[in-house]
Amino acid sequence: MAKIIRSQRASTSSVRSAPKKKPAKAARLLPKPGAKKAAKKAAKRTAKPKPWTSEEVYEAFDRFRKANPEPKGELEHLNPYTLLVAVVLSAQATDAGVNKATRALFAVADTPEKMLELGEDRVRDYIKTIGLYRNKAKNVIALSQKLIAEFGGEVPRTRAEIESLPGAGRKTANVVLNMAFGEHTMAVDTHVFRVGNRTGLAPGKTPLEVELGLEKVIPTEFMLHAHHWLILHGRYTCLARGPRCDVCLINDLCRWPEKTV
């Protein structure tokens, strides 16, 4: 019995004293071809761009002004009321599509009173080629009613009052104030939002951030036409896909790390 116990102890001791095997060294991973280049490119994209100097901002808008001294909005309208309606209808729609529908509509209803006489059903028929036309027809009738009831049938001249109208938001108010009443407002649509961020001129996570950033850096002498220049630049040059950097007026000032010039 003693021999058996001694044998077991010897066996246990031999197990304990057995040398541990060293773990095999992990194979060294070689970087994939082009990995360093891709990493540098990614780092460049995420790096915070250097802010524009006041001289650069002035130079950019001076170039816009020389190329197009009197830029015009592309929404067709006859007066402040039809401009308001056109902007409300333009949400999630193209200016060209809105113009196609409103030419006939405004020919018969260019005031709130005439729009109410037309009625929601007929307004809907006129604008049925525009996205979300059913809800927009309701808004056109509702805002027309409110203009008559609270503003004497006239488009109000403050942002808060315009924003109180059905279907009208901050961008709508800024467009109307600028185009109808000559206010120095900055309407931020998808084009202006893209240009402000891509160029580094006024980066922001929201349209309001971009709006306030642009108002802060753009000299007063350019503010009347600034939002038109930026909209047109985004619509025809600084495209969402395939931006035309080769013909861009401000390509040497632009901070976009992926520009092609």
- Which residues are identified as catalytic? 171, 189
For residues 95 and 74, the answer to whether their CB atoms sit within 8 Å is yes
CA 158 and chain centroid, separation: 23
Q: Any idea what DSSP says for residue 106?
A: H
First to last CA, the chain: 91
DSSP letters, 196-259, are: HHHSSSS--SSHHHHHHHHHHHS-GGGHHHHHHHHHHHHHHTS-SSS--GGG-TTTTT---TT-
Please, which residues have CB within 8 angstroms of residue 103's CB and are 6 or more apart in sequence?
76
Question: How many C-beta neighbours within 10 Å does residue 120 have?
Answer: 16
DSSP letters, 11-70, are: HHHHHHTSPPPPPPPPPPPPPPTTHHHHHHHHHHHHSPPPPPPHHHHHHHHHHHHHH-SS
